[in-house]
Amino acid sequence: MQSPNQSIKPITTQINSAGNLEIGGCDLVELADKYGTPLYVFDETTIRAMTSAYKEAFKSYPKMKMMFAAKAFMTKAICKIMEQEEFGLDLCSGGEIYTAFTSGFDMSKTLFNGNNKSYEDINLALECGVGTISADNFFELALINQIAVSKNIIVRILLRITPGIECHTHEYIQTGHLDSKFGFDLTQIDNAIELITDEYKNLNLVGLHAHIGSQIFEKKVYFDEVEVIFKELKRLKDKYILNLHEVNLGGGLGIKYTEKDKPISVYDIAETIIDSIKINSEKYGIEEPSVFIEPGRSIIGTAGVTLYTAGSSKQVPKGRKYQAVDGGMSDNARPSLYQAEYTVQIANNPEADNTEKVTIAGKHCESGDILAKDILLPEIQEGDILCFYTTGAYGYSMSSNYNRILKPAAVLVNNGKSDIIINRQTYEQLCESDIIPDSLNR
């Protein structure tokens, strides 16, 4: 079966009677006029279709729990959607914790993840009632226990481990191989268990947490990940009489950015994971545990597009044609960081033939501010609205104020209605944290 992560466009995308692109029943040209550009647009129907696909795909395993990896895109509105869809939240910063808490989210259904949690981060997590903390290293074990002792509470934890699995993805988004900044190496687990058992009495270890990367297009790595974890559960059970009953497999399912991407469906990974659980549970004599997965990109990526307005252009003699837009690397850092590629259409002229090769450049004072290199598009006119597909994940969440450019607004569209979920930043907000010392006012 197909799932929305295998499509480039939100599932409600169509060309309307005005000849413009439409998503969620909303004309993209009209949205650009109403809210300005750059503009992030999220299709609620696609988000909910993907959460539904996850639930449907894994329904045969009743102990499966879904958590949205909030780092992909985190706002209060998204927290509300995830709570309605019965997803928990995988959080990786104090800011994400605070956002979830102030949205009214049930914090018992959250996990705090990350490789360098500070005292302030952990204290905030416990104050806000975060359900479980994934301990990444020995420093964190000691710190979590210290804070738990000061509060006279017992903290549920997972141990994050590096399972030694490499998936075929960009090297910057591989997280499960042995040479990784994340998690305990398998050779360090015994030391961690002994510390928890003998010294850290305020920690309640309930399971193991692993993650094998992001933008994954292959099934077998998920089977292998489950096997590595179950083998470790068996070893810990035999050596320490330790029965761990929770397993977190991370996320990582890939999405389709361009036609050359061939992501598998959520149904494919569900079948693989469930098969591996059944086989390895029997193989190692382990009771089937509660299993958590934490998709992020595959939930939100396809649902989002970014709109830009075309500005100046430049034809290099015997070279490239550059078309500038009114955004760039401050609203989408992925092309600069990962050489990410996107599919682009002209929202006000979507049916025109692709007649020229063009490079879409951002407006920042940076030669590397290129959003799309050497792509085929119709001839672009100043004022055209360009729609970049599959920008829902890691666009806004990685955005910055480079060059003191304001962060864009974001809207949620559904059934012909658009709602602001992030206000466009103002110059006053940009400067509100700036301070001129008295010594300079002379």
Q: Tokens at residue 53, please?
A: 């696909």
Phi, psi of 82 (to 5 degrees): -65, -40
Strands (E), 294-403: 304-315, 321-325, 344-346, 356-361, 370-377, 385-388
> Measured in whole angstroms, how far is the alpha carbon of residue 395 from the centre of its chain?
10
Give the separation between CA 273 and CA 149, rounded to whole angstroms: 37
Phi, psi of 365 (to 5 degrees): -80, 75
Give, in order, the Cα–Cα distances in Å from 217 to each of 83, 248, 343, 395: 28, 19, 19, 21
Catalytic hit among 167, 365, 387, 431:
365
Strands (E), 140-197: 155-162, 184-185
Across 366-403, b (16+ Cβ under 10 Å) vs e yields eeebbbbeebebbbbeeebbbbbbbbbbbbbbbbeebe
Q: Tokens at residue 163, please?
A: 């399972």
- The three-state secondary structure class of 376 is strand
How many CA atoms, within 13 angstroms, populate the side-chain half-sphere of residue 73?
Answer: 32
92 a catalytic residue: no
Phi, psi of 121 (to 5 degrees): -60, -50
Catalytic residues: 365
